[in-house]
Amino acid sequence: MKAAGADVVQLDEPHMQAHPRQATEFALAGIDRALDGIEGSTLVHMCFGYAYVVSEKPSGYSFLPELEQCAAGGLSVEAAEPGLDPAILEKLPTKQVLFGVIDLGSEQVETAEIVAERLRGALRHIAPERLVAAPDCGMKYLPRDVAFGKLRALVDGAAIVRRELVA
């Protein structure tokens, strides 16, 4: 994959959240096997399901701290829409975390300050060099202007926090 030009390999995995008992039995070995031999950045996206398709989501992950032991270098988590408590990040002491700060279940565009506040919450539990601001998931179901507005808020909110970190 890297030879073909991929800088990052990401697995998108909805099964672990939906079936944590089975995930306990099979997930780590499956992830490790899928990523075996892949050089460079690797991620696992812990998917709750598209915001417009899955209407009732729990407020936390049923299988996340266990992923500290997998071969992936990072995890992508949905945090904005489900209102994820960022304290869970403390259970991932070595992973890079793509932290969802954009709610894709709503067409309301976040402000840069809302995004910044979500990032500040995560930074109370993870070092800045391991945190990446991200949308919860893909923006497939959002109108283009809404998606663009949300991405602008993501960029502007991250810039606010970046300035605070270097001040």
Is the separation of the CB atoms in 28 and 70 below 8 Å? yes
Read off the pLDDT of residues 21-35 as tens digits, 9 standing for 90 and up.
898 899 999 999 999
Higher local confidence (pLDDT), 31 or 140: 31
Tell whether 1 is covered by a domain: no
pLDDT band at 94 (very low <50, low <70, confident <90, very high): very high
103: left (phi over 0), alpha (psi -120 to 50) or beta: beta
Tell whether 96 is covered by a domain: yes
3-state secondary structure string across 59-106: CCCCCCHHHHHCCCCEEEECCCCCCCCHHHHHHCCCCEEEEEEECCCC
Alpha-carbon distance of 136 to 102, in angstroms, equals: 6
Tell whether 78 is covered by a domain: yes
Q: Which domain holds residue 127?
A: 8-166
CATH number, residue 123: 3.20.20.210
pTM over 0.85: yes
Tell whether 135 is covered by a domain: yes
> Has residue 58 got a pLDDT over 70?
no
Highest mean pLDDT among 19-23, 56-60, 97-101: 97-101
Tell whether 2 is covered by a domain: no
Q: Mean of the pLDDT values across residues 33-42?
A: 93
% of the chain with per-residue pLDDT over 70: 92
> Has residue 50 got a pLDDT over 90?
no
> Has residue 56 got a pLDDT over 90?
no
Instruction: Say how many domains are in the chain.
Output: 1
Task: State whether residue 43 is helix, strand or coil.
Answer: strand
Name the residue among 42, 47, 20 with its Cα closest to residue 32: 42
Q: Mean of the pLDDT values across residues 47-54?
A: 60
The per-residue pLDDT of the chain, averaged, comes to: 91
